[in-house]
Structure 1
Amino acid sequence: MIKDQAKIDEYYTMLQNKNSQYEGIFFVGVKTTGIFCRPTCPAKKPLKENCEFFHDAQEALLAAYRPCKRCKPLTNQSYLSDDVRKLVEAVEKNPQKKWMDKDFDELAIHPNTARRQFKKNFGMTFIEYSRARRLGLAFKEIRAGNPLIQAQLESGFDSGNGFRDAFSKIMGELPSKSKEVLALSSSWIETKLGAMLVISDKEKIYLLEFVDRRGLENEIVRLRKRLNAAIIPQRTKVMEQLEQELWEYFEGKRMDFEVPLFRLGSDFEKEVWSQLQQTKVGETMAYKQLATRVGNSKASRAVANANGKNQLALLIPCHRIIASDGGIGGYGGGIERKKWLIQHEKTMAEKMARKEDQA
């Protein structure tokens, strides 16, 4: 149980704010109800004197708290409501389907609910989401070299103008030739520290970020523009590999990632990222140290800029860079996540060292 008063004050404030950056950092037990919750639980917040804070769910269970039925702290946090999940499943069963009001009635979901919840979770309405899925099918036809009219009809669009407008709104300008546009896929991966957005092609990961990272939308736009890419909601095999490796990492069963990466940047930025990947698990360093490794001890600012442009969180471990005075420094995914990651890797490194000593 956490007894440090400063931490208790901090965590209670984050509990009141339902701050998603603290997912996996702490759990709260409520004395008056005997339940324990996530930081983002939607239930009414208890008084501070009725709260006990724990590092993990096991501590809360051992303290005789039972898991909350609303936020389900024993499972990975899901950012999708039952209605959203139901709609996503319906789209996957028939991605060419054009949705009408009667279709929502059959699922007992109000269209306004679908629009609002999808906007919150995906940054687009349900209609835009279903169109994006349909356009994904169309894009496959285009990439295969088939005529646009075939792509239009195969994806369920009766109107050519509607097809072009929808394509432009969701994915950028409609390509006149398939080779002009790079097809990328996007999906969500749940982790112990919250959901992450992943973008890939069939072979490599292009982007991995926590979904609540500030400026994530700008990162996606920058990626699309620099690569002239179209991004559609779709899972790939390399995403499945990444999801498994992330699970192993968070469970302390993996120290390095093997999933192939696409690194979009200048030669200098790629060198900085390469040096970051060579840092050992459990190791931290300041920007000046990293600059020295790159070959220019005076390039701390340039190294910091390159570090900030990293779009592959965890895979290129920019969280291992700390302030020159030993402080934690900044992190796009949130300071508490950075603290957790550093401590997690330190613990993994210590366990590995003990095993090697015993061997």
Structure 2
Amino acid sequence: MTQPLTDDQRYAALLDKEAAKGLRFYLGVTSTGIFCRPGCPARLPLRKNCLFFEEVQDALLAGFRPCKRCHPLGGQHRMLEALMADILADPSKDWSEAALQDQGYSPTTLRRTFKDHTGFSLSDFVRWVRLGRGAKSLQKGDSVINAQLDAGFDSPSGFRAAYAGLFGSAPAKTKLSDGAPLSIAWHETPLGRMVSIADETSLYMLEFTNRVEMIGQVKRLYRLHRRPIEAGRTAISEQIEAELTSYFNGNLTAFQTPLTLTGTAFQKQTWAQLQKIPYGETRSYADLAIAVGNDKAVRAVAGSNAKNGLALIVPCHRVIAKDGGLGGYAGGLDRKRALLALEGVEIKA
């Protein structure tokens, strides 16, 4: 078995830029805060200023920005965006691993990178797009059989089961809203990709794409709002993207994007208290329980934090353990520490 390169060996390999282009790692430059792919045309930095990462996500989580000369995100993102566009154009095609392998994709790599890129497994994404088409047909008054065909399902029972799994009820029993479909969009940030769901007037969801149980968040929106969800951008998508840029640049301390909160009365009460925690400050879970009027509800408050569905805007990252430690965070503790550091908060190790 080939032994992995040491960091010193990686650095030595970067001296030959042409040969380095085939290497599979990323270089972070501590003196500039930039990370590059091997073979970048920029001048090679001093060894003491170099850190090495296995994956793009590792470099982003460490706070490095992608290089504008070698575009370390570019190749992978272009491939995944093209695949997403193909699925959106014709979700009824064969998108099995065998079919994708015939098209030149590596199923193992694709399975991992697609989820990192979108927040969905490939199979969940295809199913969601197909069922969205079926829901739009039903919303227009079409029959269940026409909705099934629009969704690309050969089997009526398969369509009914998949539809009920998403909406919580059979197609014939689902009362869909007559509102326009919600729009899902993706946004790049220094701490990883985020996904938003919005309409033209408010934001319904904002999460990091590697958040645990992403599909569960989308199912909740489907079931409670009864509106199809399509890929696309709205004025609210653009507003939150601009605010995210300002926030990560250190120029925004309070988000102004209008929200639609989706949860129980207790959850909404908890989220309202979360939004009162100022930028650059923290509260313990016990503090938050007291704020909602029940000092015994620490566990319930922690559960509500994890389900708010609006990362950063409903700032659950500002809630820490009673002893001053990080506590939990669905987006990952490294990211929570980085967000608090961005806001000027130091957390004990």
Same fold (TM over 0.5): yes
| Pick aligned residue for 2:138 from 131, 135, 142 | 142
Matched, 1:64 2:57: no
Matches within 5 A, 1:264-303: 264-303=262-301
Q: Tell me which residue corresponds to 2:231.
A: 234
Q: Tell me which residue corresponds to 2:208.
A: 210
Q: Tell me which residue corresponds to 1:176.
A: 172
The Cα of 1:320 is off from its aligned counterpart by 0.6
The Cα of 1:222 is off from its aligned counterpart by 4.7
The CA deviation string for residues 168-213 of structure 1, in whole angstroms up to 9 with x for no partner, is: 3885566337733685443432211011233344533333222222
Quickly say closer, same or farther: Cα 1:317–1:167, change in 2 above 3 A.
same
The Cα of 1:296 is off from its aligned counterpart by 3.9
Quickly say closer, same or farther: Cα 1:143–1:236, change in 2 above 3 A.
farther
For 1:109 and 1:205, locate their aligned partners in 2 and report how far apart those are by CA, in whole Å. 37
Matched, 1:317 2:324: no
The Cα of 1:314 is off from its aligned counterpart by 0.6
Give the match's secondary structure for 1:310.
coil
Structure 2: 5+ residue stretches without partners: 16-21, 37-41, 57-64
Q: Tell me which residue corresponds to 1:306.
A: 304
For 1:302 and 1:167, locate their aligned partners in 2 and report how far apart those are by CA, in whole Å. 31
Paired residues, what number?
302
Give the counterpart letter for 2:203 in structure 1: I
For 1:115 and 1:44, locate their aligned partners in 2 and report how far apart those are by CA, in whole Å. 18
Quickly say closer, same or farther: Cα 1:230–1:270, change in 2 above 3 A.
same
Quickly say closer, same or farther: Cα 1:234–1:117, change in 2 above 3 A.
farther
Structure 1: 5+ residue stretches without partners: 1-15, 17-27, 36-41, 348-359
The CA deviation string for residues 48-87 of structure 1, in whole angstroms up to 9 with x for no partner, is: xxx987386259999936999x959325857955433333
Quickly say closer, same or farther: Cα 1:145–1:202, change in 2 above 3 A.
farther
Quickly say closer, same or farther: Cα 1:174–1:56, change in 2 above 3 A.
farther
Give the counterpart letter for 2:288 in structure 1: L
- Greater Cα shift, 329-338 or 134-143: 134-143
For 1:296 and 1:117, locate their aligned partners in 2 and report how far apart those are by CA, in whole Å. 47
Give the match's secondary structure for 2:287.
helix
Q: Tell me which residue corresponds to 2:39.
A: none
The Cα of 1:344 is off from its aligned counterpart by 0.9
Q: Does the CA-based 8 Å contact 2:284-2:321 persist in structure 1?
A: yes
Matches within 5 A, 1:69-148: 73-74=66-67, 77=73, 80-91=76-87, 95=89, 99=93, 110-111=102-103, 113=105, 119-120=111-112, 121-122=114-115, 123-125=120-122, 129=125, 132-133=128-129, 135-146=131-142
Q: Tell me which residue corresponds to 2:62.
A: none
| Pick aligned residue for 2:30 from 38, 48, 54 | 54
Q: Does the CA-based 8 Å contact 2:206-2:311 persist in structure 1?
A: yes
Q: Does the CA-based 8 Å contact 1:78-1:195 persist in structure 2?
A: no
Q: Does the CA-based 8 Å contact 1:291-1:300 persist in structure 2?
A: yes
Give the match's secondary structure for 1:330.
coil
Give the counterpart letter for 1:186 in structure 2: I
Give the counterpart letter for 2:102 in structure 1: H
Q: Does the CA-based 8 Å contact 1:30-1:52 persist in structure 2?
A: no
Q: Tell me which residue corresponds to 2:341.
A: 343
Q: Does the CA-based 8 Å contact 1:115-1:125 persist in structure 2?
A: no
Q: Does the CA-based 8 Å contact 1:198-1:208 persist in structure 2?
A: yes
Give the match's secondary structure for 2:343.
helix
The CA deviation string for residues 252-288 of structure 1, in whole angstroms up to 9 with x for no partner, is: 2222112222222232321221111111111112123
For 1:52 and 1:97, locate their aligned partners in 2 and report how far apart those are by CA, in whole Å. 38
Give the match's secondary structure for 1:199.
strand
For 1:114 and 1:259, locate their aligned partners in 2 and report how far apart those are by CA, in whole Å. 39
Q: Does the CA-based 8 Å contact 1:197-1:211 persist in structure 2?
A: yes
Q: Does the CA-based 8 Å contact 1:143-1:178 persist in structure 2?
A: no
CA RMSD of aligned residues (A): 4.7
